[in-house]
Amino acid sequence: MNDLFSLKGRVALVTGSTRGLGWSMARGLAAAGAHVIVNEREAAVAEAKAGELSAESFAASPEAFDTTDAAASKRAIDNIVGRHGRLDILVNNAGIAHRQVLEEVSDEDWERIIAQNLTSCFRLSRLVAPVMKKQRWGRIIMTSSVMALIPRPTVSVYAATKGGLVSLTRALAAELGPHGITCNALAPGYIATELSAALQNNPDFDSYIRKRTPAGRWGEPDELAGPAVFLASDAASYVNGHLLVVDGGMSTTL
């Protein structure tokens, strides 16, 4: 049974994987046996975090590039395939949060967040598709958000991008499924990362999340590792076009 979840021999690129949810998913995939490509814009940061995985006897290497840069993204995929001869798993995780009331959101804000949270995921998926088609095996995983299902005030642009990822996931599942490629998405709820520190430190908001969530707490970043490994593994071979919500039950309650 454990072999169903093994990623031994697989090569996985996790974008935005030097901190937060990306780091937890990268460590999870590495622990399951994958060679993980650690991504960050800054080369020194990517190298350091890949070194941390190597120090734990996991297989890892860095690939520093800006996922919003089309030319850099193509070079990165070419580099990875050139070094490893394959690319089995793409986790489109790099993204940015944005909280602002609607009338204060500028066109530039909208375009910047769309470029990072949605366009980059489309582009990288397009780049890896020919590689995965040739292999007749591939896994594309999007990091969406519970905000795609139950948004709150001040997150209009962010929610739109995460909802767009859900639709993109389903469309790619339909198109790439016949080639042995699955595409699924994760929808994390409120997770205790450094990016959500301001919200955690707000007593009123912290209390609201704890009361609103059946689990009665914030999620931990490592709780995304298992779902990511599942969707990347043979255990999820017949799971395609699915949105796996990891929110402690928040989206199931009024």
Active site residue ranges: 158
Distance of CA 124 to the CA centre of its chain: 12
Query: Pairing between strand 89-92 and 60-62?
Result: unpaired
How far apart, in whole angstroms, are the C-alpha atoms of residue 40 and residue 46?
A: 5
Burial code (b: 16+ CB inside 10 Å, e: under 16) for 35-56 equals bbbbbbbeeebbbebbeebeee
User: What are the Cα distances from residue 61, in Å, to 9, 36, 47, 90?
Assistant: 14, 7, 7, 15
Query: 3-state class of 182 per DSSP?
Result: strand
Handedness of CA 188, 164, 35, 40 (dihedral sign): negative
How far apart, in whole angstroms, are the C-alpha atoms of residue 185 and residue 199?
A: 24
